[in-house]
Amino acid sequence: MTSVLRRAVYEIARVASRTDDAILFIRSEVAKMDRDQLGDLAVAYIYSEAQSMRRGVTLAAERAAEEPRRPRRSQRPRRGTQAWAVWADEPENAETLAAEYEIDERLRRELHVTLQDAMDKYAAELRIEWTAELLDAEFALGDGTSVSWGDASREQHELRMAMHRRNAIAGAEGFARHSQAIELLDNSGASSLREALSLLKVGTK
């Protein structure tokens, strides 16, 4: 999407947010666009959705791959395999799984609180010089639109804060997963996770 079209979209969204019938207003403005502009809008929207889906799939795979914070029983199948699904479906294992998931959720909640406290402290102590360059600079809102620092509303700053918060949490979770991967590689002497897991599989036979 060109910068001209992006600004036009932002202006439509800005006016629509203050209009009683936002859908009717947006329809009337979109009707004024030519075929190329509509094509650019469609491509930008679909690309944004595709990127969001890709991030969602990756994050779901990463979270699903997290190991429980308890020693694994030798008879227990590896998480994510069909054998694990059968094992997890057994009633006698329900209590073990519930306890492990509770540990995972508690650790995730503690991470969120710690990060929020750190960000709040940093924000309270940060000193910013509101220069003309910064006021003219733009930041994205996550819906395909951008707004300048100088023109952003309180709500738009809150939206951007929420994006940074989600990114910080995802970044911390990602850091932990890569740290676990490095630990496994160092302990096994392998050059990749596939090799390390193969070595572990051979060692447990």
Q: Is residue 76 part of a domain?
A: no
Q: For residue 31, what pLDDT is reported?
A: 86
Is position 73 within any domain? no
Q: Is residue 163 part of a domain?
A: yes
Strands 138-140 and 146-148: antiparallel
By the 10 Å C-beta count (0-12 exposed, 13-18 middle, 19+ buried), 32 is classed as: exposed
Q: Please give the pLDDT value at position 152.
A: 94
Q: What is the pLDDT of residues 82-98, one digit of tens each?
A: 666 676 777 777 777 77
Number of domains in the chain: 2
Within-domain flag for 32: yes
CB contact set of 32 (below 8 Å; sequence gap of 6+) = none
Q: Where is the domain boundary, 36, 64, 92?
A: 64
Residue type, 199: L
Residue 5 lies in a domain: yes
d(CA 33, CA 12): 12
Amino acid at 87: W
Per-residue pLDDT tens for 136-176? 999 988 888 899 999 999 999 999 998 988 888 888 888 88
Q: Could you tell me if 60 and 133 lie in one domain?
A: no
For residue 193, give the nearest of 202, 176, 180, 174 by alpha carbon: 180
Q: List the structure tokens of 114.
A: 């710690």
Identify the domain containing residue 134 by its residue range. Answer: 128-205
Contacts 24+ apart (CB under 8 A), 12-16: 13/143, 13/145
- 109 occurs within a structural domain: no
Instruction: Find the Cα–Cα–Cα–Cα dihedral 53, 54, 55, 61, rounded to 10°.
Output: 100
Output the CA torsion 48→51→57→63 (10° steps).
-100
Q: Which of 34, 64, 94 is the last residue of a domain?
A: 64
pLDDT, tens digit (0-9, with 9 covering 90-100), for 177-189: 898 889 889 888 8
Query: Does residue 25 form part of some domain?
Result: yes
Q: Which of 64, 82, 116 represents a domain boundary (last residue)?
A: 64
User: What tokens does 178 get?
Assistant: 């890569």
User: What's the whole-model pTM score?
Assistant: 0.47
User: Does residue 88 fall inside a structural domain?
Assistant: no
